[in-house]
């Protein structure tokens, strides 16, 4: 009997489960933070939007943006607090007048002149030869003495002899001081060792004019216009211990209006230029716009007119408007001149003396030319000093 046939072996080669290909295993996601710094630099995020999206998804961009906003808020807070402190102190110095005001101007002139000559020294990389350091220091000292000599020339209550008073009045004249100082500086530069340069002479003489001669007009404006402001109501209630009614002179009122108008012009130009500025004003300062300049002009004139109405000086609306326009032109021109100096020096700020504001020149650049314009306007254009 034949053996039974063996059962056929079950083959798994034709199983339907083996014929179906298995799905591919998903690859792990590629995280950009392992390839680039976390978060990627700002310039890369602006150029490649995908990097910006990846940075936001990982939370790095949000943290950086929050940190940047917090830093800006701290800088703004510091700037405002320091600005208020400076404003209050400057107001007290202006009201005090006399030697207090002249000494404060001399201190600001000394700091500003040192910053100016440091800016001139920074232009050496562009091929300009700066003056020697001893010349810069001598010029700074001369500039600081000019406001004191100016006050000695206009202060009529000096209890000194006739000879000393004549000498003070002669040498206190700013034209004599500037001319004599420029002559001494020119001789010292020409006789120096090495090869003298014309740029050394021009930067030194301009420093005497810019840092010493022009700021001294604020002393002449505050203390030289000693006519009483008869129409100012505040003068009648001013305490006797603080000088009484005679303390309120045309010089005090003109100085207060000028400084307040400059602050209003700078603030209006900054806020409106930042919000609505579209048209560049000049290539010297790219951030300045025509819209900001017009807003600054309007704020300056409006402040001058309002203060002239309150303080009753000058009496004419036309004179107050012209005074405001002149103040704005002087402040704008002074700002542009300082921006031109900084641009040639290749720096953003003239120094770091004032926290949150930069150097002293960054704060007083609008005042350099304005004092001379205001003093000339009151002496020449206003009959009886506008009383």
Mean pLDDT value across residues 112-131 = 86
Q: How many CB atoms lie within 10 A of CB 376?
A: 14
Residue 367: strand pairing partners? none
pLDDT, tens digit, for every residue of 302-313? Answer: 999 999 999 999
Mean pLDDT value across residues 187-193 = 85
Residue 147 pLDDT greater than 50, yes or no: yes
Q: For residue 98, give Cα distances in angstroms to 105, 146, 150, 151.
A: 11, 15, 11, 8
Distance CA 204, CA 361 (A): 17
Q: Among 13-27, 236-250, 332-346, which is the least confidently predicted range?
A: 13-27
Distance CA 287, CA 297 (A): 17
pLDDT, tens digit, for every residue of 51-76? Answer: 555 555 555 556 677 777 777 778 77
Per-residue confidence at 124, pLDDT binned at 50, 70, 90? confident
Residue 332 pLDDT greater than 50, yes or no: yes
- Across 43-73, b (16+ Cβ under 10 Å) vs e yields eebeeeeebbebbeebebbeebeeeeeeeee
> pTM to 2 decimals?
0.79
The pLDDT assigned to 305 comes to 96
Show Cβ contacts of residue 111 under 8 Å, excluding neighbours closer than 6 positions: 353, 359, 360
Distance CA 116, CA 97 (A): 26
pLDDT, tens digit, for every residue of 197-209? Answer: 888 999 999 999 9
């Amino acid at each position: 009997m034949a053996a039974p046939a063996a059962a056929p072996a079950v083959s798994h080669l034709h199983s339907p489960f083996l014929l179906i290909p298995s799905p591919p295993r998903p690859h792990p996601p590629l995280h950009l933070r392992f390839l680039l710094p976390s978060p990627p630099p700002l310039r890369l995020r602006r150029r490649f939007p995908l990097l910006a999206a990846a940075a936001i998804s990982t939370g790095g961009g949000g943290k950086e943006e929050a940190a940047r906003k917090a830093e800006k808020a701290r800088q703004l807070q510091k700037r405002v607090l320091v600005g208020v402190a400076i404003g209050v102190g400057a107001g007290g110095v202006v009201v005090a007048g006399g030697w207090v005001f002249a000494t404060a101007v001399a201190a600001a002139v000394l700091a500003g002149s040192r910053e100016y000559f440091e800016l001139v020294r920074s232009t050496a990389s562009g091929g300009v030869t700066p003056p020697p350091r001893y010349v810069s220091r001598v010029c700074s000292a001369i500039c600081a003495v000019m406001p004191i000599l100016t006050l000695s020339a206009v202060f009529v209550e000096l209890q000194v002899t006739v000879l000393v008073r004549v000498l003070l009045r002669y040498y206190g004249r700013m034209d004599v001081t500037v001319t004599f100082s420029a002559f001494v500086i020119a001789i010292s530069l020409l006789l120096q060792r090495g090869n003298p340069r014309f740029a050394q002479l021009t930067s030194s003489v301009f420093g005497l004019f810019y840092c010493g001669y022009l700021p001294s007009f604020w002393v002449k404006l505050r203390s030289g216009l000693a006519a009483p402001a008869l129409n100012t109501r505040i003068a009648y209630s001013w305490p006797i211990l603080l000088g009484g009614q005679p303390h309120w002179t045309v010089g005090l009122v003109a100085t207060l209006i000028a400084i307040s108008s400059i602050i209003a012009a700078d603030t209006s130009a900054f806020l409106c230029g930042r919000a609505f500025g579209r048209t560049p004003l000049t290539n010297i300062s790219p951030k300045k716009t025509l819209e900001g300049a017009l807003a600054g002009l309007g704020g300056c004139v409006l402040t001058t007119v309002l203060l002239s109405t309150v303080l009753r000086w000058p009496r004419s609306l036309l004179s107050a408007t012209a005074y405001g326009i002149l103040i704005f032109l002087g402040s704008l021109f002074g700002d542009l001149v300082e921006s031109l100096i900084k641009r040639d020096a290749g720096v953003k700020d003239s120094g770091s003396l004032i926290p949150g504001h930069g150097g002293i020149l960054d704060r007083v650049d609008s005042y350099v030319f304005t004092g001379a314009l205001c003093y000339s306007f009151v002496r020449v254009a206003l009959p009886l000093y506008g009383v």
